[in-house]
Structure 1
């Protein structure tokens, strides 16, 4: 097995090396057998198998024991951790433009939304545990060593994780790490990505509203870092709005939702950032696009049945490319492409 002889990271319980595995580069996690039991390793692998998604690091094969260490082959991501991107600017190869920030935010939120949809709690979310792929800016949640399944308050692993990104109820000893504490940690990470400033552990909604008052993510993040976990938004509640914001930022438009006179119903409108701001919503012919296509980036793998939508913004042409794939019984029955340019 070829090896770069370079330690590329340190996980919760072991070091990670860049090595060849089945003809491709892998991030090989090596954990001394005295640190993790076979049962714990099987639990971690079960999490990886359930969590397969393009924004969650993949397990490439079954682990094996060699030289007193468990070898766990994981997806190798050519990029850098978000800690470097945000706080080590001179070392970073990622230029944090508004579009790049939106891509990263959407990607890591899609990954967390997927984990939670599978009843998986990460427990250890922090910028060190999110990779940003160079070139594509794909955000990937990594280091599932502390991740656990959580069903109706019952967990499959210990309640543990880092302190710096712990929700208020965890720091106060009044709660357990669950989906809600994951959401709080993600809200803090988004705040640090937007501001470029390390945030304190007593982050709260009022602080966020002032800090992010000029950011389109202000409302979303405020709901994610609510002090009371029972009032905190879930990823399922937030993901649609996060997708809307991402597409709007890539198109250079604002999403306006103002009530129609006398109806109380919102009317959709778009306002260009690069022109004078209009006083009211501007009717647009792509309303069907907004309602039907602001849905989901492509999922990995494709579902056996249903429709998958992939959104991609082409910087060169200034077009938003939408690809729709229609699945039935595991087969692609229809494929459509649509390109939209901001007028």
Structure 2
């Protein structure tokens, strides 16, 4: 019997090292499979790319994804363990997050998660992006679907660097990429843009969703959503605390002023380690950064 077109036959064992299992997700040229290491029993996520379907642009994105993930070694970034190259397929063996993604987590909370939980998880995402930018890596596809939970570690980690790239400070990028509801205006307009700025805008969308329970710029159709983004029109629900509103966090993150934007990311990071928070949720590297920073900036 012929297999349906959307199904493909994958080698049940990769290089004799990993047994492939259930499908976790699908993309245009790739499928993500749950796998287990033959000798250690460790569960991993394997991104299987069909090289025969890649065009030049897709190959370039794939090269950048591997390059950037190898470069960014951080506790809050999903680790790329190894790359296995065969004649027709490329296998990216990744750290597996067993707790699902942040989008599903948010959708379970109609009025947003508690501000304590939002602070806990957003702090970790900001720290990961700050580290990426320090290495001159821009993600360009930040959204809750690309943040995964590691329940045993009580952590979240950033994943999917498919649109990531290296950038030179002061030089603008031009590639339009990402997802509409999370993208900065300059990307949607097709303008050249400062790399860190577009990530900070997307961080603002993630934070808004955490505390409000829905996206700030989301209408019935793409045209209306685009208009909202261009006009930066959003409202903060009444259930959000006055303390959170007073910080003006969204005002700084949803800005086209690059200087304010980068300053805000730096200040946000610093405040995450100087305000009164529960440090049991900090990763070891977070605590090291906390020890070296003294400038406080209000957060949530």
TM-score by length of 1: 0.64
Equivalent residue number for residue 221 of structure 1: 250
Shift in Å, 1:145: 1.1
Could you list the per-position Cα deviations for residues 138-196 of structure 1 after superposition, in whole angstroms to 9, with x for gaps in the alignment?
11110011100010355799442222111122223333361101100001110110111
Contact 2:163 2:178 in 1 (8 A): yes
Could you list the per-position Cα deviations for residues 114-158 of structure 1 after superposition, in whole angstroms to 9, with x for gaps in the alignment?
111110010111111111222443111100111000103557994
Q: 1:52 aligns with which of 70, 73, 89?
A: 73
Equivalent residue number for residue 84 of structure 2: 63
C-alpha separation in 2, matches of 1:29 and 1:36:
18
Shift in Å, 1:27: 0.7
The number of equivalent residue pairs is 255
SS in 2 for 1:28: strand
Q: 2:130 aligns with which of 113, 118, 130?
A: 113
- The alignment yields a C-alpha RMSD, in angstroms, of 3.4
SS in 2 for 1:123: coil
Bigger relative contact order (CA 8 A; separation at least 6)? 2
C-alpha separation in 2, matches of 1:7 and 1:104:
26
The higher radius of gyration belongs to 1
C-alpha separation in 2, matches of 1:309 and 1:115:
15
5 Å-filtered alignment, 1:30-179, equals 30-33=48-51, 34-35=53-54, 40-65=61-86, 68-89=88-109, 96-154=113-171, 158-176=175-193, 178-179=195-196
Match status 1:180 vs 2:209: no
SS in 2 for 1:62: strand
Shift in Å, 1:16: 0.7
Shift in Å, 1:206: 8.2
Cα distance change of structure 1 residues 85 and 193 upon mapping to structure 2, 3 Å threshold: same
Could you list the per-position Cα deviations for residues 262-307 of structure 1 after superposition, in whole angstroms to 9, with x for gaps in the alignment?
xxxxxxxxxxxxxxxxxxxxxxxxxxxxxxxxxx85229xxxxxx9
SS in 2 for 1:197: coil
Shift in Å, 1:220: 2.9
Contact 2:176 2:187 in 1 (8 A): no
Contact 1:120 1:150 in 2 (8 A): yes
C-alpha separation in 1, matches of 2:117 and 2:95:
22
Match status 1:308 vs 2:291: no
SS in 1 for 2:211: helix
Please identify which structure carries the higher helix content. 2
The answer to which of 72-81 and 42-51 deviates more is 42-51
Equivalent residue number for residue 270 of structure 2: 240
TM-score by length of 2: 0.72
C-alpha separation in 2, matches of 1:215 and 1:205:
22
Please identify which structure carries the higher strand content. 1
Contact 1:104 1:137 in 2 (8 A): no
Contact 2:212 2:237 in 1 (8 A): no
C-alpha separation in 2, matches of 1:157 and 1:71:
29
